[in-house]
Each structure stands twice: as structure tokens, then as C-alpha cells.
């Protein structure tokens, strides 16, 4: 059978997708042992995991570009879950990092704006997961700052305020939330979850992957595996199984 004929007979296979939107902690999530890579491995025959992490970005910039990444005409219908994972940069101290800093009230408004936008393109709140920034290990991050000639430009208590705001937005908007800031500090020493005081270590990636999967599993459990297992293909008439 010619390929063109096969294409005419078989409808186009559209993989559902999970959309990861965030800052560097999302961008880096496809690295070896990353939480995004772990998620993609779990879902490889069920849906695509799309990484739209943007290192250094805050919610002020994120809400501007979100409509350029997801719209009704670019697969919103096939989007089965979206994670929104910002706050690590928004919570930077204004005096020491004015470029990335976003005031707490604006951060709250920006998160709500992004949730409302997704709902406007028919991604319902039950498919949206907000993730709070992780806790900040100040002494380790201070070393990173000093190595670049800067002062410590974030504080864990401040990051916690942004995490609480993120949790409140989720309650107000009816979305799920993964409160990473609180969950990681249930262990008194959370430093092992972080590679440099801010970004996730291998252990931190594994922790986030497990927490996120427990949240996603119920949303995605009904998704079928796409295309039959190879042993189930009729080798004498493959078109009957594959088209």
C-alpha cells in the first residue's frame, strides 16, 4: 500500500499533551534525572510532555507570552494538563534584583490572569496545577551570588510568602496546587533537595516527580496507550491493526 493511500485511510494520530510552563526549574527538568524527563518517560506511549521552561522568567513576563504558547488553534483541545511553576524569580529581593522581582500582589494577580486565560481557551481548572517555588537554602545560594560578585538576593521567608500566595490562588481559582515550599521543609534539612540552594538536585527532582505524579495520575489514568503493543499487531495484515 502506498504511503499516501495509508494516510488517506488512517486518521492522523494526535498525541494528547502535558504542558510544563515555568522558569529555569522547569527548563532544566528535561536534564538527566529531571522531573520533566521522569514524567515524559512514564507517559511515553500516552501523551507528549512539552517543556516550556524559560530560565530567569517571572510571572510578569510569563503572562505576556502564554497566549503565544497555547491557544485554541494550537492544541488547547488536546492539552490534558498544564503546570504553572513560577515564583523563584518573582520573590527575588527588589533592592538587590529589581529586574526579576515582582511584588507579591502583582505575582498573585499574574497567576490568576494565567489561570483565567487558560480557562478562556477551554483548558478547565481541573487540568491546571500550580506549583509553588521550592524553599531557598540561603547559605548555598549566597555562595552562588558571591561567586558572581553579588550579594544574597533572595530569602527563604520571602519565598515562603510567594508560596502561600500561590496556594491561595489555587484555592480561589479551583485548581490543584503542589506546595513544594512546605512539602520540602517537612524534612528539617531540605538542603539535599537543592543543587545550589535554589535549583533542584537529583533528590529534589525525584521528590517533585513523585509528588506531581500523585497529582497527575488521577487526571491521566484514563488515557489509553496509543497504537497497539507490538505482539498484538496482525503481522499478516498490519493495516488492520494500525489504521
| Domain of residue 50, CATH code | 3.40.50.1110
Cα–chain-centroid distance for residue 123? 15
Structural domain includes residue 230: no
Contacts 24+ apart (CB under 8 A), 190-193: 190/135, 190/137, 191/137, 191/140, 193/134, 193/135
pLDDT digits (tens, 9 = 90+) for 69-117: 999 877 667 899 999 999 999 999 999 999 999 999 999 999 999 999 9
Structural domain includes residue 151: yes
Active site residue 234: no
Distance CA 205, CA 164 (A): 21
Answer yes or no: is pLDDT of 4 > 70: no
Number of domains forming the structure of the chain: 1
Structure-model confidence comparison of residues 197 and 5, the more confident one: 197
Answer yes or no: is pLDDT of 1 > 60: no
Domain span at 132: 17-218
pTM: 0.92
Structural domain includes residue 235: no
Using a pLDDT cut of 70, give the percent of the chain over it.
95
Structural domain includes residue 232: no
From the list 126, 187, 196, 234, the catalytic residue is 196
Answer yes or no: is pLDDT of 170 > 70: yes
Minimum mean pLDDT among 3-12, 89-98, 150-159, 230-239: which range? 3-12
Structure-model confidence comparison of residues 45 and 113, the more confident one: 113
Minimum mean pLDDT among 12-16, 52-56, 164-168: which range? 12-16
Active site residue 24: yes
Distance CA 132, CA 165 (A): 9
From the list 23, 90, 91, 199, the catalytic residue is 199
pLDDT digits (tens, 9 = 90+) for 114-151: 999 999 999 999 999 999 999 999 999 999 989 998 99
Active site residue 199: yes
From the list 24, 113, 191, 206, the catalytic residue is 24
Amino acid at each position: 500500500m502506498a504511503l499516501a493511500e495509508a494516510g488517506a485511510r488512517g486518521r492522523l494520530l494526535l498525541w494528547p499533551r502535558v504542558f510544563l510552563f515555568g522558569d529555569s526549574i522547569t527548563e532544566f527538568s528535561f536534564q538527566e534525572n529531571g522531573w520533566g524527563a521522569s514524567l515524559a518517560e512514564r507517559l511515553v506511549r500516552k501523551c507528549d510532555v512539552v517543556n516550556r521552561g524559560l530560565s530567569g522568567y517571572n510571572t510578569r513576563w510569563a503572562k505576556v507570552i502564554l497566549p503565544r504558547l497555547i491557544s485554541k488553534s494550537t492544541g488547547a483541545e488536546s492539552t490534558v494538563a498544564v503546570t504553572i511553576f513560577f515564583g523563584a524569580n518573582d520573590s527575588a529581593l527588589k533592592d538587590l534584583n529589581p529586574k526579576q522581582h515582582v511584588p507579591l500582589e502583582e505575582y498573585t494577580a499574574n497567576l490568576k490572569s494565567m489561570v483565567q486565560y487558560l480557562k478562556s481557551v477551554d483548558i478547565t481548572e481541573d487540568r491546571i496545577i500550580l506549583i509553588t517555588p521550592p524553599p531557598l537554602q540561603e547559605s548555598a545560594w549566597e555562595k552562588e551570588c558571591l561567586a558572581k560578585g553579588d550579594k544574597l538576593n533572595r530569602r527563604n521567608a520571602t519565598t515562603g510568602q510567594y508560596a502561600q500566595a500561590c496556594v491561595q490562588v489555587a484555592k480561589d481559582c479551583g485548581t490543584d496546587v503542589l506546595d513544594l515550599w512546605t512539602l520540602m521543609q517537612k524534612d528539617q534539612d531540605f538542603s539535599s533537595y537543592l543543587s545550589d540552594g535554589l535549583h533542584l538536585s537529583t533528590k529534589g527532582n525525584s521528590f517533585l516527580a513523585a509528588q506531581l505524579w500523585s497529582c497527575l495520575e488521577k487526571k491521566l489514568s484514563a488515557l489509553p496507550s496509543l497504537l497497539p503493543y507490538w505482539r498484538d499487531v496482525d503481522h499478516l495484515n498490519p493495516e488492520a491493526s494500525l489504521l
